[in-house]
Amino acid sequence: MERKKVTIAELQQKKEQGQKITMMTAYDYPTAHLVDQAGIDTILVGDSLGMVMLGYDSTVPVTMDEMIHHCKAVRRGVKSGFIVGDMPFMSYQINVEQAVENAGRFMKEAGCDSVKLEGGSEMAPVVKAIVTAGVPVCGHIGLTPQTATMLSGFKVQAKDAESARQLVKSAKDLQEAGAFMMVMECIPDLVAKKITNELKIPTIGIGAGKNCDGQVLVYHDLVGLFERFTPKFVKQYVNLAPQVKEALVQYRTEVEEGTFPGPGHTFSMKEDEAEKI
């Protein structure tokens, strides 16, 4: 039986009923299809594609056109999952009008179900404007990769009481502005638990402990296809990179030795027909 389309109301209901929400990144059609077939609730087309798909050193260089391109591919591979498009750096920070316009592109051009943007209380007016325009917004607090330089690198956030209180305030401000869900990255589990308990909307953790309403990981981390580094919070369920490389080496060897393609991979014709050529 085919799954029905996941909705914001269903995600909210899961929180209220204590059922965990699953989220996974996807950046192309085949991956999105696999993730959707696995029954994942929400699919994030993250700007992390800049690093795992495009080879950038960070998420900062990713453009709106690149995000739209990948979101379109994901849309074609998903039937049931709820798609969240990640607004890239400087697509929503310059002014509210630009933020609303770019958020609209994720809906109109790419077919996303919502957008995600990074930032705390300072982003509440932007979130409110986008939501007022009819685009659902998922917040993202804690470690915000787009501004990692200002945070002195990819480090755990809210490790002391003062910064933790500010994070709680940011979460509440974004909820008040209309965010329907909150991603929390690289924060202590007790802080994540407090925010989850105090928010009415679902929380999704990535390096935020088990007390969030749901979890998200980067697909390439989970399956072992990104070898530059592996964050502490990642559980690698399979390590595909060595297997893929082994297959490629075997292919190269067989081609060089002339053993591929063999009879089973070759189209034939009758010899008498071949003689007429």
For residues 66 and 146, give the distance between their C-alpha atoms in angstroms, rounded to a whole number.
16
Contact 83, 170 (CB under 8 A): no
In angstroms and rounded to an integer, the radius of gyration of the C-alpha atoms of the chain is 22
Ramachandran angles phi, psi of 158, nearest 5°: 60, 45
- Which among 10, 118, 122, 185 is annotated as catalytic? 185
Contact 154, 186 (CB under 8 A): yes
Residues facing 198 on adjacent strands: none
H or E element, residue 115:
strand 114-118
For residues 67 and 200, give the distance between their C-alpha atoms in angstroms, rounded to a whole number.
30
For residues 219 and 237, give the distance between their C-alpha atoms in angstroms, rounded to a whole number.
10
Is residue 185 flagged as an active site residue? yes
The owner of tokens 């007016």 is: 125
- Give a three-class secondary structure readout of 48-93: CHHHHCCCCCCCCCCCHHHHHHHHHHHHHHCCCCEEEEECCCCCCC
Angle made by CA atoms 181, 183, 186, in degrees to the nearest 5: 160
Nearest to 135 by CA among 96, 167, 79, 171: 96
Residues annotated catalytic, as ranges: 185
